[in-house]
Amino acid sequence: MATAKPDTDLLKTPLHDLHVAHGARMVPFAGYAMPVQYPSGIITEHKHTRSAAGLFDVSHMGQAILRGADVAASFEKLVPGDIAGLNIGQMRYTLLLNEAGGIRDDLMATRIDEDGRFALFLVVNAACKGADFAHIATSLAGEAELEILEDRALLALQGPQAEAVLAALVPDCCDLVFLEGRDMNIDGAPAFVTRSGYTGEDGFEISLTADAASAFAEKLLSHEAVAPIGLGARDSLRLEAGLCLYGHDIDEATTPVEAGLTWVVGNRRRESADFPGADTILGQIADGASRKRVGLLPEGRAPVREGAPVQDGDGHSIGSVTSGGFAPGLEKPIAMGYVTTDHAAPGTSVQIELRGRSVAAEVVAMPFVKPNYKRS
Amino acid sequence: MADRKYTEDHEWVEVDGENGVIGISDYAQEQLGDVVFVELPSVGKVLDQRDEAAVVESVKAAAEVYTPVSGEVIEVNEELNNDPSLVNTDAFGEGWFAKLKLTDPTELEDLMDEGAYKTFLAGLS
């Protein structure tokens, strides 16, 4: 069993009692008691999200608003994305970088308008939020102020029926397309709704006050299309979608170029070269990186897991698996990991070490499952 | 049922004459969640008590299964290669792992019977 803090030390999200009432198995995750699965199980939850709608509690994630005289210019000191180029209500995936070009965290930033002033609504990973918020506040002291939204819950409603379900309660949600967000009204209470997620499906993330979260979640769950989904299926869904899990597929020792996230480096930012680690990252964009994150498709049915060594046909080490599991949608194992660039082309045959033997695998393009975003 | 014995790691052995069938308990399959792959031992392999006999892979993780008793593997449940979810749906029946020819039946005395295992499970929650 995984070592963990005693349950008594774990934080609870505003939906904790709801999870327990729905039969969730609660596990420690990033200091919180979180539902890993409900009685129907991970495979059923995964497939339900792909075919109908799944409700995820992601209240453990960090939410904050960054304000400042020129908040976009300030935030661009920490990330490589084009933040100044965001329109109001536009959301962007970006990265907090260290001076070596390594990834401190990945996050979503949405440009919002507060009575004529621009601000940024940020959502960061639970395990990183303390360090992220300290880094942002300290680095931008004197020019921008960070308000950490401690009293907010965050729900994700994901799947092809997410829009129909949410529209019955929040009609304005239909106005959003993928990677847009704005303030909306839920039962008379303010909420911030974005069209985004971590599953490869169309869907929404709804930031609302903690005291309103359970009642709203139960309303969503009362719809026959909606089932509660735990962290287990969240992981298998994001893996099929080829999305990185921080601390596993990306970390302080991986650069955006190695991670296949070069697209997060805005064109204007490549010109201005004024983000942390710019020398390293722009050098890798120009000359290539020595390793790359790739999709891996092992033969057979045995899943390969994080940490499994990857070798070339002659048994030479070329990298390792960073996420691996069983893809319920494909009914076979899938994985992602880093390999040396000369083995990173789709179609390359590699070997993955599994319990003392070698499993043949093929390097493949990601995502494993075609996304279903509503882009227009 | 009468002859099924359990370990504290939630494996079971059901003895029939000089042979024993091994598997994991209903509690164990529930803890693991959806089983997607089972790596079975080779027929002919000789296992000592508590040796790794199989690996069960769920969607999220791998778990080792240790044999409750020593013996030679004389048969494995090939059906698990086609349908590993049998471990979830029928842990004490169709979800069996392997049949061993027991080499030391006195080991059975170390294991829990049904009643003792139920008491043990009650103490876990």
Query: Which domains are present in chain A?
Result: 1-243 (3.30.1360.120), 262-364 (2.40.30.110)
pLDDT over 80 (residue B125): no
CB atoms B37 and A326 under 8 Å: yes
Tokens of residue A93, six digits = 């995936």
- CA-CA distance, A231 to A236, in Å (whole number)? 9
- Put simply, whether A374 touches B (Cβ < 8 Å) is no
Q: Which residue of B has its CA nearest to A235?
A: B60
> Is B61 in Cβ contact with A326 (below 8 Å)?
no
Across the interface, do A326 and B55 touch by the CB < 8 Å criterion? Answer: no
Interval A158-184: pLDDT, tens: 999 999 999 999 999 999 999 999 999
> With an 8 Å Cβ cutoff, is A256 touching chain B?
no
Q: What is the pLDDT of residue A125?
A: 98
Residues 6+ apart with CB under 8 A from B124: none
| Residue of B55, B59, B81 lying closest to A232 (CB–CB) | B59
- Looking at beta carbons, which residues of chain B come within 8 Å of A326? 36-37, 57-59
User: Is the CB of A357 inside 8 Å of chain B's CB atoms?
Assistant: no
Report chain A residues whose CB lies below 8 A from the CB of B88: 41
Nearest to A134 by CA among A174, A103, A158, A104: A104
pLDDT, tens digit (0-9, with 9 covering 90-100), for A102-125: 999 999 999 999 999 999 999 999
Which residues, including other chains, have CB under 8 Å from residue A242's CB and lie 6 or more apart? A200, A295, A336, A366, A367, A368
Helix (H, G, I), strand (E, B), or coil: what is residue B2? coil
Query: Distance between CA A50 and CA A44 in Å, rounded?
Result: 10
Question: A232 and B84: CB-CB below 8 Å?
Answer: no
Given this model, what pLDDT does residue A187 score?
Answer: 85
Q: Minimal Cα–Cα distance from B27 to chain A, Å? A: 13
CB contact under 8 A, A355 and B84: no
**Chain A, window 6-45: residues with a beta carbon less than 8 angstroms from a chain B beta carbon:** 36-37, 41-44
Side-by-side strand order, sheet with A32-37: A11-12, A32-37, A25-29
Nearest residue in chain A measured CA to CA from B40: A302
- Is pLDDT above 70 for B1? no
Nearest residue of chain B to residue A26 (CA atoms):
B31
What's the CATH code of the domain at B70?
2.40.50.100
* Tens digits of residue pLDDT in A57-73: 999 999 999 999 999 99
Given an 8 Å threshold on Cβ–Cβ distance, is B39 in contact with A232? no
Asked if the Cβ–Cβ distance from A301 to B34 is below 8 Å, we say no
* Residue B53 scores a pLDDT above 60: yes
Candidates A299, A301, A354, A357, partner chain B, best to mutate (most B CBs within 10 A): A301
The structure tokens listed for B53 are 């006999």
Answer left, alpha or beta for residue B93, where phi above 0 means left and psi between -120 and 50 means alpha: alpha
CB pairs below 8 Å between A and B: how many? 46
Interface with chain A: mutation pick from B29, B36, B88, highest number of A CBs within 10 Å: B36
Out of B33, B81, B84, whose CB is closest to A41?
B33
d(CA A352, CA A368): 18
The minimal CB distance from B59 to the residues A302, A326, A355 is found for: A326
Instruction: Using the CB atoms, write b or e for A149-177: b if 16+ within 10 Å.
Output: beebbbbbbbbbbbbebbeeebeebeebe
Indicate the pLDDT class of residue A4, thresholds 50, 70 and 90.
very low
Q: Contact B34/A355, CB-based, under 8 Å? A: no
Read off the pLDDT of residues A264-299 as tens digits, 9 standing for 90 and up: 999 999 999 999 999 999 999 999 999 999 999 999
Q: Answer for the pair A250, A213: CB distance below 8 angstroms, yes or no.
A: no
pLDDT at A2 over 80: no
Q: pLDDT by residue (tens digit) across B6-34?
A: 999 999 999 999 999 999 999 999 999 99
- Outline where DSSP puts E strands in A187-282: 189-194, 203-209, 226-228
Q: CA separation (Å) from A254 to A96, A363, A372?
A: 12, 19, 28
- The dihedrals phi and psi of B32, each to the nearest 5 degrees, come to -70, -35
Pairing of strands A117-124, A103-114: antiparallel
**Rounded CA separation A250/A291 (Å):** 13
Q: In terms of CA atoms, which chain A residue is nearest residue B9?
A: A1
How many percent of chain A have pLDDT more than 70? Answer: 98
Among A212, A174, A205, A163, residue whose Cα is nearest residue A190: A212
CA distance A367 to A364: 9
A94 has a chain B CB within 8 A of its CB = no
Given a cut of 90, whether residue A8 has pLDDT beyond it is: no
Q: How far apart are CA A286 and CA A295, in angstroms?
A: 23
Full domain range(s) for residue B27: 3-122
DSSP character at residue A7: G
Q: Helices A231-240 & A42-51, crossing angle to 10 degrees?
A: 60
| CB A180, CB A92: distance < 8 Å | no
Min distance B18 CA to chain A CA atoms (Å): 31
Residues in CB range of A133: below 8 A, 6 or more apart: A62, A64, A124, A146, A148
Q: Give the span between the Cα atoms of B95 and B108, in whole angstroms.
A: 21
Min Cα separation A86/chain B (Å): 37
CB contact at 8 A, A310 and A321: yes
Could A326 and B36 be called an inter-chain contact, meaning their C-beta atoms sit closer than 8 Å? yes
Half-sphere exposure of A300 toward its Cβ, with a 13 Å CA cutoff? 14
Cα A183–chain centre separation: 21
Query: E strand or H helix at A338, and its extent?
Result: strand A332-340
Residue A195: the pLDDT is: 98
What is the total count of domains within chain B?
A: 1
- Nearest residue to A101 via CA among A224, A259, A211, A229: A259
